[in-house]
Amino acid sequence: MAKKLVYIYPGFERFWHWMQAILIFFLAFTGFEIHGSVEFFGFREAVRYHNIAAYMFLGLIIFAIFWHLTTGQWKQYIPTFENIKGQLNYYLFDIFKNAPHPTKKTVISKLNPLQKIVYFGLKILVIPMSVTSGLLYMFYRYPSKYGVEAINIQSLEFIAVFHTIAAFLLISFIMMHLYLITTGETITSNLQAMLTGYEELDVADEEKTETNQVQLKVEANK
Ligand code: HEM
């Protein structure tokens, strides 16, 4: 098996990834100030910044949905149970024996089976849970403004708990994610790939030879 530098993460995907990371980090920080766990901006400012970041997060989600649908990249997240045992075994045991990765990363299949399941769950459960409860939290007063008490103050407490649970789930994911970033071919290869778009992937020897021949022809014609 030969190695080849492959352009795996296009510009928008990297922009979306890093913006999402920054916004979730900022939302968690300001959110926990609102919750009373930290003190930094002051409560009023924390609420204001949390709301601004929430609107940016919503905008980013809309663009990301559009991008995933129009490029077909949504298919990367279709969950599969194939090789899931091998992947679990790798993270629990084989990784400590320097064993090779059980799943081959390619441009059309960037995620291993565990990532597929976890990211799918984030997209259809945790992020919608956070956004819906956040929006209800933001607008719970509005119906009563016109004398319609659609959401009363008791249900607000329920919404707050729901929103906080979603926040804890997202933070747990990020902690796992930070560790897993370091488990690529080298300790920084996953990070570098998400910064530059390029990653060294295993390709079949014939594929590598073909690419070299194409490159040689291009060089010769220059
Ligand atoms: C579109 C997404 C989001 C919206 C619309 C939203 C909205 C809100 C609103 C309106 C509040 C209450 C502010 C107040 O008391 O006046 C709040 C609180 C909070 N938010 Fe968000 N938020 C969003 C995403 C997030 C994310 C991603 C996190 C964390 C990762 C987060 C963590 C929190 C926390 C911890 C609180 C305090 C909950 C409490 O103790 O009551 N939020 N959010």
Ligand 1 binding pocket mutation candidate from 25, 34, 131 (most atoms within 8 A of CB):
34
Q: Does 133 contact ligand 1 (Cβ within 6 A)? A: no
Q: What is the 3-state secondary structure (H, E, C) of 153-221?
A: HHHHHHHHHHHHHHHHHHHHHHHHHHHHHCCCCCCCHHHHHHHHCEEEEEECHHHHHHHHHHHHHHHHH
Using the mean position of ligand 1's atoms as its centre, give its distance from the Cα of residue 53 in Å: 10
Asked if 118 and 173 count as a contact pair (C-beta separation under 8 A), the reply is yes
Using the mean position of ligand 1's atoms as its centre, give its distance from the Cα of residue 14 in Å: 25
pLDDT (tens digit, 9 = 90+) per residue, 90-140?
A: 999 999 998 999 998 999 999 999 999 999 999 999 999 999 999 988 887
Q: Is the pLDDT of residue 78 over 60?
A: yes
84: containing domain: 2-221
Residue closest by Cα to atom 8 of ligand 1: 134
So what's the pLDDT on residue 13? Answer: 98
Q: How many domains does the chain contain in total?
A: 1
Atom index in ligand 1 nearest the CA of residue 164 equals 35
pLDDT (tens digit, 9 = 90+) per residue, 34-52?
A: 999 999 999 999 999 999 9
So what's the pLDDT on residue 185? Answer: 87
Which is higher by pLDDT, 111 or 148?
A: 111
pLDDT (tens digit, 9 = 90+) per residue, 162-210?
A: 999 999 999 999 999 999 999 998 999 999 999 999 999 988 754 544 4
Looking up residue 78, the CATH number of its domain turns out to be 1.20.950.20
Using the mean position of ligand 1's atoms as its centre, give its distance from the Cα of residue 163 in Å: 6
Q: Does 135 contact ligand 1 (Cβ within 6 A)? A: yes
Alpha carbon distance 65, 156 (integer Å): 29
Alpha carbon distance 213, 200 (integer Å): 19
Q: Does 35 contact ligand 1 (Cβ within 6 A)? A: yes
The dihedrals phi and psi of 103, each to the nearest 5 degrees, come to: -115, 130
- Average pLDDT over the chain, rounded to whole? 88
Query: How is 68-127 classified by DSSP, letter by letter?
Result: HHHHSGGGGG----TTHHHHHHHHHTGGGGTPPPSS---SS--S-HHHHHHHHHIIIIIH
